[in-house]
Structure 1
Amino acid sequence: MEKILSIAIPTLNRAHYLKFTLDSFVAQIEPYKEEVELAVCSNACEDNTFEVVKEYMEKYSFIRFIDCDVRLPLGDNFKRTVTFSKGKYLILWGDDDIPAPFLIGYLINNIKKNPDIEFYYFNRLVGYEDGCPIKSLTVYENHYRQTSVFYKDSSSFITDNFWGATFMSAVLFSRAVWERGLNFDTSSHYGFEFMGILYYGNKGKGIMYECFPLCIQRKVAKRAWGTDWPKYALLGLPNMSKDLEREGLFDDGLNVWRMRYNKFVLYCYILMSAATDKKKYKPYCKQFAAFQTSTVRKFLAYAIIYCMPGWVYNVSRKILFSLKG
């Protein structure tokens, strides 16, 4: 029987978090095991990921695992994970994120009820590290208008949800959308190649936003892609905005990114992160500055990366997570 839905998990050295995520999925997939699979793709993991997943595979026939021995960049690894999975619809699920207990049933029902909709995005709760007190969880989008909001075109959706929809665990899409989107050049969308693929592949079609939180985004202090974050945020996002605007998928995309998603405090914080690896990011200063419109912002791209000690960011991040946890 064809799988309707794949929960496709790309993972890299996160066995501890992955185990918790698998525990959260298996009970709710079991009633739908003929229609749903859980596909885990190891990006050349060096920890005990294989042993952890093997334990689950021995109990649950709907879990599949591929242990890749070649480590790929984030975007290419996502493509490999999609290729490995078999579902007609997919979610690229973060290995540290937690589904709502009713997520699978809710998504299967929506897929069957709305066969013409191939792209969904849903709200979420956000927590930090392990053991985050329930009372400290926050709703990502706290304006509850109705159960679902249907966007007839991508531009209005992207304007409202550009930053939020880059969280891959909250995006459900059809394989047909993905395959159509592979024709789009996303090579400069560093870290966000998957979103460029989906927006292009869904061109001319609507997007459904589910207002009710359907998962918990678990923000952890150590991320496998953490050292690449400045490149993703300060180059990948504006490059994607520019390219989507060129394709008619995002009205005034670059300016929307600058005004709504390139806030000054966040910009400085990202540059502080880049300053922890000066050798890596000094060559990027000119490119970072090119997307900034003011002289002050252009200057800061050089000043912070060249001059700020890396420990400043590390200390500030520890303080942030201690306050949020």
Structure 2
Amino acid sequence: MKKASLLALCAFILSANGAFAAGSHIYANTFTANNITAFQHSIMTTAMQTFEGTAAAALGGRAKLVKHDDKDSKYLYGTTPMYGWPRLYGEYGDDGSVKPEQTGRNGGDIEYAENRPVLNSSWLNWQHFNDDVKFSGYDELNTDTDLIMFGLAGGEAQRGFGISEWGIFGGYVGSTQENNFVNIEEGGGYIGLYTGYNIQKFNLSLAANAGALYNNAENEYGTDEFANMWAGVAMNATYNIALDDSFTIQPGVYAGYTWVGSANYMSMSGNTVANQNFNMFEVAPEIRAIKHIGRGWFGFIDFKYAFMMGHGGDVVVDGIKYDDLNTRDYAEYGIGIEKSIDRFNIALNIHRRDGGRSGWSGGFNLKYIF
């Protein structure tokens, strides 16, 4: 009798585990929604850091003026005009006010400047991520993601004690998530707006975006198709501490909110899968060190820790509510190099994540300054 009871218990445990494995497809929307919050972080931080300027700009007033290779001394590390707008050097009129139409040191070069272009820079960025996502009470999910982004910046203007500018950005995202029970192909796009404000050593950036993602989730029953929409806002604040003419420490903090509109659909298994919307908050303090290595080359190292908070969205299948799958906080750290050539700025980076997400990422950025 006891032997029969033991066998029955083992059979029940095995059947329960098998049912959970077979039912993993019901969490497909949860997987894609959490992936959106992950690449949303990368979209926003990449956009804001690129709009904020080049590594040379982080040196602020302690940067040395370096003559450009073409012997036309108009560049600071290939980016900032040596004989430029009065706000960069503090030239004043006779009454002590800045004359925005005057150029050159004390107006010595030309009397009046042409109108500044509406656009002052454009950039193209590619990022690749390969990491394992850890959910509470569930197997890891391998994620492979590519982000292609572009941006245009303009509207640079004096605002009080600082300088402001605006920007637009957008791009494409393609991703694959898989484990032994499900394989999800994801593809979509997004568009966003940026505004930034700089007061000497302090930078404040704000961004908002929205996007859509179309998904194919392959499982043992067939392929489920569904879509997600998302919208988010983010803020990034940094402060440049120039220790000498070539080395800067840049502490900062990133904060963001992402709303993900979840899909309700009929699965190939015959189940009706209903998903609540996701509301995710993130706060990520960061420290960055920037060094002018020489001959216009810059290097940087950075470290951040992302605290993930919010409601992950309930999953209801045929009227039965299932447990939420929650991701954990993670750390991200990496290195990069950057160089300006004429009006082009080129940057490469490689990063590592550990914690709730573990894996590697790398990317390339090309920026043209008008």
TM-score range (shorter-chain normalised) is under 0.3
Higher strand share: 2
**Which has the higher relative contact order, 1 or 2, with Cα contacts under 8 A spaced 6 or more apart?**
1
Higher helix share: 1
TM-score by length of 2: 0.20
Structure possessing the higher radius of gyration over alpha carbons: 2
